[in-house]
Amino acid sequence: MSLTSIPGIEQQHDLLARAGRVLAGGGLGLFNLPDEVNLVIAAGKGSHVTDVAGRDYIDYHLGSGPDLLGHAHPAITEAVTAQLSKGTTYYFLNEHAIRLAERLVEAIPCGEQVHFTGSGTEATFFALRVARAHTGRSKILKFEGAWHGMHDYALWGTVPTEPSDYPRARPDSAGIPAIIGSEVLVAPFNDAERAVELIERHANELAAVIVEPLQRVLKPRPGFLEAVREVTRRHGVVLIFDEVVTGFRIAWGGAQECYGVVPDLATYGKAMAGGFPMACIVGRAAIMSALDGRRHPRHELAWASGTLNGNPVSAVAGLAALNVLAQPGTYEYLHRIGSRLRAGIVESGRRHGLPTLALGEDAVFGIRFIENNDVKSWMDLQAHDRELGLRWGIECLKRGLLVNPNEKFYISLAHTDADVDRTLEICDAAFAAVTS
């Protein structure tokens, strides 16, 4: 069937043209697909979505991670529907937010107390503020290539194409005050010696070290997180794990459980609210007390208020999602489906003569074309063939996989073995197309 004969294609073109006029950048954020595969989603169910043109895709983007149960999971739909008729937001305490906080404290190794926020960006921004309030110091250290959201402290050394002049880095975005650069130190991921040296050198002025324990698709080397944990503890620097991606995904207890290192604070988002807008900071009560208006006068308090914090609709969605994730077998299933897919894609890519790697964890990984088998840092990753990754991603999209080229594959509980079989056929055809 030619593209123009697909019912709905005209409607999709029209919507994309209108988006181009009224949405800044034509999209909803930084991310835009190339025109030839751009689409408007009409609906999602389980592991699949359909676009307005009526095409079906197996979804490996999952809303950029939140839909860990798959789209429109009945447990979440029922819980949210029941809550909607009771009101959507109160600002005052609601029982669901309290129960969700209890569940988070139970599940997360560092969790003694919780503070809800609206997004992962707010969670990392406020976690850094809490660390400053707690320590009375102002600088923070992050790792090159780490993504902590969109605030002015996060956007340094996130996607550099050349090594930073460690610990100084360039801002990623226009509009960030240069002065903030003197407050943000950047170190290469997985280089324990360099991180320890920088942390020791700046310990007196360092409030926090923030790290994505699985940095995008890079696993921590044995000993790296442990070394960062040890030096931060020794110098009273708050260690923050950004678990917005890894939380409830790579294990029930997140990266802390998976890698066996417990930070002082952690930020959670995405999967924890079952596809609804909610994120949080969790951590040690002694540090979270910087947020406690019962203990501090207002001017000594770390302010982190938000109109929709602890919103009951998001809270019931989060509780429903966690109830499903807590069932026996969840993580075994995610690992089994993810590892089959990773291995199959790598085998297929290599059969087509491409240096294919599936980096990361089974539940979230990235396909990269790179000769170096020992990729450990953002700079190592720069050697990957971005152009090939884009072309292969476009060929996958054309054949019915919803993927974000050169980014991640997210696995959900809704993905089946039949999905994996079909996906591997599509990936293979996409490899054939890019090598022909």
Ligand X SMILES: Cc1ncc(COP(=O)(O)O)c(C=O)c1O
Among 44, 111, 145, 149, binds ligand X (CB under 6 A): 149
Could you tell me the smallest distance in angstroms from the CB atom of residue 117 to ligand X?
9
Q: Which residue number, 51 or 242, has a Cβ lying nearer to ligand X?
A: 242
Among 94, 121, 158, 412, binds ligand X (CB under 6 A): 121
**Piece in contact with ligand X (CB under 6 A), picked from 119-127, 167-175, 333-341, 371-379:** 119-127
Q: What string marks each residue from 214 to 253 as x (binds ligand X by CB under 6 A) or -?
A: ----------------------------x-xx--------
| Rounded (10°) angle between helices 417-435 and 330-351 | 20
Tell me if the bond preceding 263 is cis, omega within 30° of 0.
no
- Interface with ligand X: number of residues (CB under 6 A): 14
Q: Which residue number, 214 or 354, has a Cβ lying nearer to ligand X?
A: 214
Please state, in angstroms and rounded to a whole number, the distance separating the CA atoms of residues 249 and 106. Answer: 16
Is 157 a binding residue for ligand X by CB under 6 A? The answer is: no
Please state, in angstroms and rounded to a whole number, the distance separating the CA atoms of residues 339 and 411. Answer: 10
**Piece in contact with ligand X (CB under 6 A), picked from 14-22, 32-40, 147-155, 419-427:** 147-155
Q: Which residue number, 39 or 154, has a Cβ lying nearer to ligand X?
A: 154
Please state, in angstroms and rounded to a whole number, the distance separating the CA atoms of residues 134 and 356. Answer: 45
Could you tell me the smallest distance in angstroms from the CB atom of residue 160 to ligand X?
17
Q: Could you tell me which residues are beta bridge partners of residue 247? A: 251
Q: Which residue number, 128 or 420, has a Cβ lying nearer to ligand X?
A: 128
3-state secondary structure of 32: coil
Among 73, 148, 219, 249, binds ligand X (CB under 6 A): 148
The answer to whether the beta carbons of residues 168 and 342 sit under 8 Å apart is: no
Is 120 a binding residue for ligand X by CB under 6 A? The answer is: yes
Contacts of ligand X in 272-331 (CB under 6 A): 279
Contacts of ligand X in 59-118 (CB under 6 A): 64
Is 147 a binding residue for ligand X by CB under 6 A? The answer is: yes
Is 119 a binding residue for ligand X by CB under 6 A? The answer is: yes
Q: Which residue number, 212 or 428, has a Cβ lying nearer to ligand X?
A: 212
CB count within 10 Å of CB 122 equals: 23
Among 12, 83, 113, 124, binds ligand X (CB under 6 A): 124
Give start and end residues of each alpha helix (H) in 191-329. Answer: 192-202, 224-235, 254-259, 285-288, 312-325
Q: Is the dihedral of CA 368, 373, 374, 379 positive or negative?
A: negative
Q: Is 341 exposed, middle or buried (0-12, 13-18, 19+ CB in 10 A)?
A: buried
Residues 6+ apart with CB under 8 A from 327: none
Is 210 a binding residue for ligand X by CB under 6 A? The answer is: no
Is 48 a binding residue for ligand X by CB under 6 A? The answer is: no
The CA-based dihedral angle spanning residues 71, 59, 253, 233, taken in that order and rounded to the nearest 10 degrees: -130
The answer to whether the beta carbons of residues 331 and 258 sit under 8 Å apart is: no
Q: Which residue number, 251 or 427, has a Cβ lying nearer to ligand X?
A: 251
Q: Which residue number, 344 or 360, has a Cβ lying nearer to ligand X?
A: 360
**Piece in contact with ligand X (CB under 6 A), picked from 67-75, 144-152, 188-196, 349-357:** 144-152
Please state, in angstroms and rounded to a whole number, the distance separating the CA atoms of residues 136 and 205. Answer: 9
Interface ranges with ligand X (CB under 6 A): 64, 119-121, 124, 147-149, 212, 242, 244-245, 269, 279
